[in-house]
Chains A and B, each alone.
Chain A
Amino acid sequence: MTVTSQLKQTLAGLKSAQGTIRTYALQSQEEELRNIFQESLETTGEIIDSLENRLKKIEFEEPQYKGN
């Protein structure tokens, strides 16, 4: 498995985790808890964005690694 396809898997895992965090950010009853999940949502979002950009760059620079 190439690095890019591994990276894609990691991204998929992160995105599903982000989805779960999003439900918690919405349905938690405590203000404090909601805020924490909201922050986590933002952090994971930023990480996902950064990884996606990195992925595009790798694929652009080294097309031979283009995963599926």
Chain B
Amino acid sequence: MPVWTIILLRSVFFFFLVLFLVRIMGKRNPSRLIPFKFTLYVMIGVTAALTAVGAVNLFLGVVALAVFSLLPIGLDLLSARSKFVHDIVNGRETVLVKQGKVMEENLNQVRLTGEDLLRELRYKNVFNLNDVEFAIMEATGDINMVLKSDKKPVTPKDLEWKVSPQTEPQTVILDGSVSNEALTEMGLNRNWLEQQLETIGISLENVFIAQVDTTGELYVDLFDDTVSLAQPKVREMLYANLEKAQAELSGFVLEIEDQETKEAFAGNAQRLEDLLEKLRPHLLR
């Protein structure tokens, strides 16, 4: 066999071997690896490449690869069971800022300068050290922090707003093809979808992405961006209609002279107002 065929076969073999090994080593974000894991991946890569081009004996290369991939799996299993092993393998997180004060010793320990810390905080959009209550360096080297409570972004809870609960939207059309799975997930079917598309007057082939939200409303993006499409404002419309009815009822109360009828209208107007108050977070927010 000519040399190039051997290299070809070995490369293809190692290509799939590495694919398999990296897969069984678990899902990790490569940019968030602890340094040790990163080194391991490099070792696997270099060994595989060297063996593939024939610099290392095939069998010996495979043995090394097996060790580099199976040992970390074993360590992962062990560290899932024991906190002690976990801390040895993964290292521990380091507190960098506590109660708004920088811990210089800890900073030294992880070889971080003040400038580095400030830069990392700027990455998180924090320019003022004064805003930071607590910051920690994860074992992966990422820095995460908690802002002082008066510097945190406002949430509906802070405003004592009631907001509507939301589930994740389902993508029912992608690239013009319908996903039956997503539709069933929402308790809908193709008929419903076709009906909805007919209402807004577009054909299925023209849809790039369509999503259904918690209230079962359809949001559509078209291939043809020149077609302007009225996106659903049904909830806002519903609120407006109810509000209109409420205003009209209140108007009748003023107009009608018969006392009993007047009271009946006033009662209904009040009920409708209460209802509006209750629906407000779900229809307008």
**A interface, CB within 8 angstroms of B:** 3, 6-7, 9-10, 13-14, 16-17, 20-21, 23-24, 26-30, 32-33, 36-37, 39-40, 43-44, 46-47, 50-51, 54, 57-58
Which interface residue of B165, B245, B278 has the most chain A CB atoms within 10 A?
A: B245
Please tell me if the beta carbons of A47 and B241 are within 8 angstroms of each other in the complex. no
A contact residues around B268 at 8 Å (CB): 47, 50-51
Can you pick out 21 interface pairs between chain A and chain B where the beta carbons lie within 8 Å of each other? A3-B252, A10-B252, A13-B245, A16-B241, A17-B241, A20-B237, A23-B216, A26-B216, A27-B188, A28-B214, A29-B216, A30-B164, A33-B214, A39-B278, A40-B275, A43-B275, A44-B272, A50-B267, A51-B268, A54-B265, A58-B261
Main secondary structure of the interface of A (DSSP, over half): helix
Docked CA distance A20–B279 (Å): 13
Please tell me if the beta carbons of B165 and A32 are within 8 angstroms of each other in the complex. yes
Chain B's nearest CB lies how many Å from the CB of A29? Answer: 5
| A28-B216, A47-B271, A54-B261 given; A36·B245 CB < 8 A | no
Docked CA distance A43–B177 (Å): 41
B contact residues around A13 at 8 Å (CB): 241, 244-245, 248
Main secondary structure of the interface of B (DSSP, over half): helix
**A30-B214, A44-B272 known; 6 other A-B pairs, CB under 8 Å?**
A13-B241, A14-B242, A20-B237, A24-B216, A46-B271, A50-B267
B contact residues around A47 at 8 Å (CB): 268, 271-272
A contact residues around B234 at 8 Å (CB): 20
Tell me if B115 counts as interface (CB < 8 A to partner A): no
